[in-house]
Amino acid sequence: MRIDIITVLPEMLEGFVNESILARARKKGIAQIELHNLRDYTTDKWRRVDDYPFGGQAGMVMQVEPIDRCISALKAQRHYDDIIFTSPDGQQFTQHLANQLSLKENIIILAGHYKGIDQRVRDHLITREISVGDYVLTGGELPAAIIADAVVRILPGVISDEQSALSDCFQDDLLAPPIYTRPREYKGWQVPEVLLSGNEARIKQWELEQAIERTRQLRPDLLDKK
């Protein structure tokens, strides 16, 4: 899988893609993640990517021209399954959406910035808009990193124990059950006996019951989907 991230702040993402799970995926050749500085696709000496909006609204707007040049240059090299724009008013990012994107071969993520983006980018260049929550951030670099991390970590071979990813929260519209590790007793706080029983069937049943109960208490909206 290849993910190309277009940003005005590539330095903000360099450390992220070169560490932890993403770095492991890149080293194994499972995922290729490339950062593109949008300013490299400008034509003026100031390398400006924004301008004042028509109509007199406040703030600065990302221009269509450098974005079009960058996307066109990438599309000239390969086919892209999705061109994603990170936007607070986009489709809500969920584990199900991460699962869908993990099946793609090549995607572009355009990190928004400033007040917003020229509507012509959304109308003609973008195939999908994604929001990581109902709030506004300074830029789309953090959402782009979140999307990349959530997608890449579930690619086969990235995590040594693939079952770990498959049992994460939200995979079955349920929250994950409680988990414990050594020591089995600490300050009188005990690990549930069922987890020490060695009875796999009982443990699985307990985990399911706990997952349903946690979901009912914390995210009952997820149960409405079932």
Q: Please report, in range form, the residues annotated as the binding site.
A: 112, 132-137
In the annotated binding site for S-adenosyl-L-methionine, the residues are: 112, 132-137
Hey, which bits of the chain come out as E strands?
2-7, 32-37, 50-51, 61-62, 82-92, 106-111, 116-117, 128-131, 185-186, 189-190
Rounded Cα distance between 178 and 32, Å, is 34
Question: Which residues, 6+ apart, have CB-to-CB distance to 90 below 8 Å?
Answer: 128, 129, 130, 131
Q: What angle do CA 161, 167, 172 make, to 5 degrees?
A: 150
Rounded Cα distance between 17 and 218, Å, is 32
Buried-state track 133-158, b at ≥16 Cβ within 10 A, e below 16: eeeeeebbbbbbbbbbbbbbbbbeeb
Tell me if 71 sits within 8 A of 6, measured CB to CB: yes
